[in-house]
Amino acid sequence: MGRKRMFVSFMPVAVFLFFMMGGWALAMDHEVQTLTKEGIGTYLADAKGMTLYWFRNDAPGKSACAGPCVDKWPVYFREKVKAGKGLSDGDFGTITREDGKKQSTFRGYPLYSWSGDKARGETNGQGLNKVWYVIDPAVFPPKM
């Protein structure tokens, strides 16, 4: 078999593998995982290990963070969230905010990141203004 013919016959396999691997990588980008940190406990983080937060002023299905708030607390949204180990796909959903943007939720509560977290595992937003908190899936939503 000539080189050109071998190349042509393996081309569909290579293309298939490329898209399958790309699809897998894309799916991993949407996975929410749990991390554990001394002094914080177990909490949710995105696929890159960036902490996800909830806002005490939110209600299930409704965000109270708007305008300048969203500059400091960016909305977390993925079209489809994949639940990582120990989590359930059914815990995640999507809302449409009053500004028309979509936002991912955990057990109905909107999810955010914190502009002050710059690296994997940082939890600098924990307890900020006594209204921003990490999410421990074992005890969420907390009794208020």
Greatest CA span in the chain, whole angstroms?
Answer: 72
Residue 82 reports pLDDT greater than 90: yes
- What is the structure's pLDDT at 29? 66
Asked if 89 and 32 count as a contact pair (C-beta separation under 8 A), the reply is: no
How, if at all, do strands 92-96 and 102-106 pair?
antiparallel
CA-based nearest residue to 49, from 64, 59, 57, 37: 37
Q: What is the pLDDT of residues 6-62, one digit of tens each?
A: 444 544 554 444 444 444 444 456 899 999 999 999 999 999 999 999 999 999 999
Prediction pTM value:
0.80
